[in-house]
Chains A and B, each alone.
Chain A
Amino acid sequence: MIRRTVRFLDSRAGVAPLAKRALRYVFPDHWSFLLGEVAMYSFFVLVGTGIFLTLFFEPGHARAVYHGEYAPLDGVRMTKAYASAVDLSFRVKAGLLFRQTHHWAADVFVVAIVLHVWRVFFTGAFRKPRELVYYVGILMLMLALLEGYLGYSLLDDLLSGMGLAIGNAVALSIPFVGGNLGALIWDGQFPGGDAFWSRMYIAHVLLLPVAIGALLALHIALIVARHHTQFRGAAKTERRVAGLPAFPGYAPRSVALACAVAAMLFLLGGVVQINPIWLWGPYEVAQATNGAQPDWYLGWLIGALRLMPGFDVTIGSYTLVPNPFWGGALFPMLVFGFLFAWPTIERRVTGDDRYHNLLDRPRDNPWRTAVGAAFMTSVAAVFFAGASDRFYLSFGIPYGPQIWFWRAVALGGPFVVFFAVRRLLTEVKREEETPAPSGFDAG
Chain B
Amino acid sequence: MKWLWSALALLLGRGRREAVAPSAVERPRIVPRQESSPRAELAVLALLALASLAAIGFIVVYVVDRLPAQTQLLGLTLGLAFAFLSAALLVTARRLVPVEEISEPYPEPEHSAEADEVVQILDESGERMTRRGLLKVAAAGAGATLGAALIVPAASLGPVAYPDALRRSPWRRGLRLVDSKGRPIRSGDVEGKGLYTAFPQGVSHEELGSPLVVVRVEGQRLDLPEGRDPDLWAPEGIVAYSKICTHAGCAVSLYRTPLYEPTSKSPALVCPCHYSTFDPATGGGVLFGPAGRPLPQLPLEVDDDGTLRAGGDFSEPVGPSWWGVRRG
Contacts and interface: CB of A to CB of B under 8 A. Distances in A.
B51 to A, nearest CB: 9
B290 A249 contact: no
A275 B229 CA distance: 47
Given A162-B250, A169-B249, A286-B211, A240 B104 contact: yes
B254 interface: yes
A387 B273 CA distance: 11
A315 to B, nearest CB: 9
Contacts of B31: 248
Interface stretch (A80-88, A112-120, A182-190, A204-212): A182-190
Contacts of B273: 162, 165-166, 288, 292, 302, 305
A395 interface: no
Given A166-B273, A242-B102, A321 B249 contact: no
A111 B199 CA distance: 42
Interface stretch (A5-13, A252-260, A341-349): A252-260
Contact of A179 (B78, B163, B254): B163
Nearest to A93: B62
Interface string B236-265: 000000011001111111100000000000
Given A24-B102, A244-B101, A179 B166 contact: yes
Given A290-B272, A323-B247, A285 B206 contact: yes
Nearest to B198: A286
B249 A165 contact: yes
B159 A285 contact: no
Contact of B320 (A191, A288, A324, A327): A324
A266 B93 contact: no
Contact of A173 (B72, B101, B320): B320
B82 A263 contact: yes
B323 A253 contact: no
Contacts of B132: none
Given A267-B76, A319-B292, A172 B210 contact: no
B249 to A, nearest CB: 4
A286 B180 contact: yes
A270 B67 CA distance: 14
Interface string A98-138: 00110000000000000000000000000001000000000
B83 interface: yes
Size band of the interface chain A makes with B: 35 or more
A308 to B, nearest CB: 5
B168 A285 contact: no
A309 interface: yes
Contact of B79 (A227, A270, A284): A270
Contacts of A255: 89
A318 interface: yes
B286 A249 contact: no
B208 A190 contact: yes
B78 A270 contact: yes
A362 interface: no
B2 to A, nearest CB: 31
A322 B155 CA distance: 24
6 contacts: A179-B325, A184-B154, A190-B208, A256-B89, A305-B290, A318-B324
Interface of B: 30-31, 62, 70-76, 78-83, 85-87, 89-90, 92-93, 97-107, 109, 154-155, 157-160, 162-163, 165-166, 168, 180, 197, 199, 205-211, 243-244, 247-254, 271-276, 286, 288-293, 319-328
Given A96-B71, A173-B321, A320-B324, 8 more contacts: A169-B320, A189-B207, A270-B73, A310-B292, A317-B328, A324-B290, A328-B248, A357-B106
